Amino acid sequence: MKFFIKNCHLDQEKTDCIVVNIFDSCRFSTALHYLDRCSNGHITSLLKLGDITGKTGELLMLYHVPNISAKRVLLVGCGEKDKITRSSVNKILKKTINMLKKISIKNVIYSFTELNINVKNNIYWITRFTILAIKKFLHTVIKINSSCKKSINLNIISFNFFEKNDLFTAKIALKHALAIDSGITSAKNISNLPPNICNPLYLSYQAQKLAQKYQDNIKVEIIDIEKMKKLGMNAYVAVGSGAKNKPFMSVIKYTGNSNNNKVIALVGKGLTFDSGGISIKPASNMHEMKYDMCGAAAVYGTLIMAAQLNLPLTIIGVLSGCENMLGSNSFRPGDVVTTMSGQTVEILNTDAEGRLVLCDSLTYVERFFPSIVIDVATLTGACVTALGESISGLFSNSEDLSRELKYASQETDDKVWRLPLLEEYKKGLHSPIANISNIGSSKAGAITAACFLSYFTKKYNWAHLDIAGTAWKSGSKGATGRPVELLCQFLLNQIKEYKLY
Ligand code: BES
Ligand code: MN
Ligand code: ZN
């Protein structure tokens, strides 16, 4: 699928379809006025029939409009012009795409620039947002070994801008959108794979493929179980000990051309399957625990975006691949392990495994002297209870980092809500025989888990994103690719000289 940004004469374009806006009470957009004038008022006379009024999501397809070279003109109702929001644009695009998919349209020109969602740099955001929404609505879950590929005809999508001055900004938005989409799509695809294909070794191969593809910017180091043992990553090793598929931690080192030597580390929970271990999970929906690697997938996707845009940053991406299984070699409730940090942990529940894998990964990244560390994890069912499926949990030991993440979240609509890291919850992790235990007594399970991690993140500015509710949707929709867009935006915002939009 190819996207183009252009400034053309809409009436002269030989395309399958032009998509234009119409606002409430039949108010014409600039593009619609233009086409109406070219057709000597043909559109005005058609609209007198009253088939469309301009309410959000209404559609009307016109064929053979006089003096217009395009085969079709699709009018899309957008509601009141000054009340357009991101969610109404989303609705409009979903309807439009479904219509274009039904009839076999190959190429289309959108003339959408008049949609104003009331943000600074509307041209940048409306363009980026539209492209990402189109990509989202066209994405389908890949079937394993299926020969019947769903064919989508739509392959050329152009955006028309009336102002030549807008082209520069729109082209940047296009470039960013395509890179972010590569990140989101890669994260979704890898997350949707079944756990017998996507295991920790598979994750490490994907990381190594990145190093081959982006030889100048990416180096990958794989930490296998032997290396983990040497490093003293005993909590991580304990989680992996019951599984035939051995743990692998993939460390992706991305260096863009920059004199900025600030290091940003992104650490993703990569449990390719979480059975719960000896503290086994109930059978219902256990298959969904293949998604327990969505944090690692998000980190992987974010690095793809960074490499594709050649961002002038230094980023360490860690995919903490591991499988939590039952076996005679499994770790048990009651075991005490010494983590890489030297702190000891009493395991009281083997299903609270994500924090054990992450604590050693978070200690491991200290060697890069990061100024910012963000971990991303499907960490607790309790976070789903607290915030539901639309909002990821945010925890941080830094006000600045927390503010920056919240800002990027608002810009992208990839929602987060900050929850507190209180001393009393930290105390709840008390163990009689070790420094801490891996579960607490509080019902605030998402906070307890974050507090556990905070014992291992004292040396740097750290944020934790609990994506248990947001990373996938139950049923056929699969992984959402969140929070790739949030992380990408956070990275873009780090590049001060990059304020092109
Ligand atoms: N991967 C799960 C968290 C999870 C559960 C994510 C449901 C998405 C949906 C995690 O490893 C886990 O099992 N957490 C336990 C912690 C508990 C034992 C303290 C949980 O949330 O029940
Ligand atoms: Mn678990
Ligand atoms: Zn888990």
Q: How far is the CA of 287 from the centre of ligand 1 (A)?
A: 13
Q: What is the pTM of this model?
A: 0.97
Q: State the DSSP H helix or E strand holding residue 86, giving kind and residue range, or none if neither.
A: helix 86-102
Pocket test for ligand 1, best of 351, 353, 384 (most atoms within 8 A of CB): 351
Strand partners, 223: 249
CATH number of 181-493: 3.40.630.10
Residue 401 has pLDDT above 90, yes or no: yes
Q: 127-162: per-residue pLDDT in tens?
A: 999 999 999 999 889 998 877 666 678 899 999 999
User: What architecture is the 2-141+152-164 domain classified under in CATH?
Assistant: 3-Layer(aba) Sandwich (3.40)
> How many other CB atoms are found less than 10 A from the CB of residue 472?
25
Produce one character per residue of 316-349: b if its CB has 16 or more CB atoms within 10 Å, e if not.
bbbbbbbbbbeeeebbeeebebebbbebbbbbbe
Ligand 2 is a single-atom ion; what residues have CB below 5 A from it? 274, 351, 353
Contact 255, 217 (CB under 8 A): yes
Assess whether 403 carries a catalytic annotation.
no
Nearest ligand (C-alpha, residue 389): 1
Q: How far is the CA of 53 from the centre of ligand 3 (A)?
A: 50
Q: Encoding tokens for residue 487? A: 């992380």
Pocket of ligand 1, beta carbon within 6 A: 274, 292, 349, 351-354, 378-382, 384, 439, 445, 468
Q: What span, in angstroms and rounded, lies between the C-alpha atoms of 301 and 54?
A: 38
Q: How far is the CA of 76 from the centre of ligand 1 (A)?
A: 43
Produce one character per residue of 129-160: b if its CB has 16 or more CB atoms within 10 Å, e if not.
bbbbbbbbbebeeeeeeeeeeeeeebeebbbb
> Across 99-192, where does the E strand assignment appear?
107-111, 156-160
Indicate the domain borders of the chain: 2-141+152-164, 181-493
Catalytic residue among 128, 355, 426, 482: 355
Q: 335-363: per-residue pLDDT in tens?
A: 999 999 999 999 999 999 999 999 999 99
Q: How far is the CA of 276 from the centre of ligand 2 (A)?
A: 5
Q: 163-175: per-residue pLDDT in tens?
A: 999 999 999 999 9
| Upstream peptide bond of 247 is cis (omega within 30 degrees of 0) | no
Residue 476 has pLDDT above 80, yes or no: yes
Q: What span, in angstroms and rounded, lies between the C-alpha atoms of 395 and 417?
A: 8
Assess whether 418 carries a catalytic annotation.
no
Q: 250-308: per-residue pLDDT in tens?
A: 999 999 988 777 999 999 999 999 999 999 999 999 999 999 999 999 999 999 999 99
